[in-house]
Amino acid sequence: RPRVLSGIQPTAGSFHLGNYLGAVRQWVALQETHDAFYMVVDLHAITVPQDPAELRANTRLAAAQLLAAGLDPERCTLFVQSHVPEHAQLGWVMNCLTGFGEASRMTQFKDKSAKQGAERATVGLFTYPILQVADILLYQADQVPVGEDQRQHIELTRDLAERFNGRFGRTFTLPAPYILKETAKIYDLQDPQIKMSKSASTPKGLINLLDEPKATAKKVKSAVTDTDTVIRFDPAGKPGVSNLLTILSTLTGTGVAELEQGYEGKGYGALKTDLAEVMVDFVTPFRARTQEFLDDPETLDSLLAKGAEKARAVAAETLAQTYDRVGFLPAK
């Protein structure tokens, strides 16, 4: 079985629809066909300030949501990044292989540090992509299921894997991005030119999966479309409508062309009403299942401990080989 690896940050509150459609949905499907490793990346989370108690709670919350979304610990390895110390250890080796200029060209870093101000951005934020490289290489992943915004980090991973292999002998598998075209980038409902994200300008454009279903329906109904009335998939000309069609198509499994036909002669109101209903049907059980996992933290924690144990077995082997190749003296 080919191997996949991916990660998600333990953000406050809940995952948003972009996380789910762009990544987590694929994770659920891939656990059936691939040797799958998925993690909550708490080491990455502290690249920006975190309240300790909240970070801990958000890490559990993230794991609960992943389970609610359909990850099955019998079918995949689900774990918390900090439970596997090899991530930080391989991260250091990768830091020492990365050029300063190379790291400076990472667009996510440039965006995030510009927002925070250069003085406040941490060195951890700067080396964030390099830790991600270590995450992927530790598991010798063949594919990395993510949204479009992570593509550059996977390119960096390939570059560093090739560099290491060239310098020290073949050690790492070169991973490929696994990015589905249709859902690579889900857009903000109020500003369909920008991707849906927690840092969006207005909360109205962001669908949080754990929000009150009623609030979600309201956000869908007030999504920005355009002054035309025709329901047609045309991302350049009709970004708002196209985004709604993508979401509806993915959640219902109905092709976009078929949806277009079905809405012929109908207005945006009909599309929004239908999507609002589909969204409510999706988030209602999702919320309930997440709450069930949260209500039993002992089971959740022990499930994560088992995941970490499985992950460590793989990670330790790769790290040992890497340390040997680099020339570290083995501890007797």
Q: Is 266 a catalytic residue?
A: no
Token pair in block for residue 180: 């589905």
Q: Which is nearer to ligand TYM, 39 or 259 (CB)?
A: 39
Q: Are 227 and 45 in contact, with CB atoms under 8 Å apart?
A: no
The contact mask relative to ligand TYM for 31-50 (x = CB under 6 A, - = no) is ----------x--x------
Does 90 participate in binding ligand TYM (rule CB under 6 A)?
A: no
Does 149 participate in binding ligand TYM (rule CB under 6 A)?
A: yes
Q: Which is nearer to ligand TYM, 263 or 308 (CB)?
A: 308
Does 9 participate in binding ligand TYM (rule CB under 6 A)?
A: yes
Least separation in angstroms between CB 113 and ligand TYM: 15
Q: Is 214 a catalytic residue?
A: no
Q: Which is nearer to ligand TYM, 193 or 227 (CB)?
A: 193
Establish whether 9 is an annotated binding residue. Answer: yes
Q: Residue numbers of the site for ligand TYM (CB under 6 A)?
A: 5-9, 18-19, 22-23, 41, 44, 132, 135-136, 144, 146-147, 149-150, 185-186, 195-197
- The set of catalytic residues is 112, 195, 198
Could you tell me which residues are annotated as the binding site for L-tryptophan?
A: 135
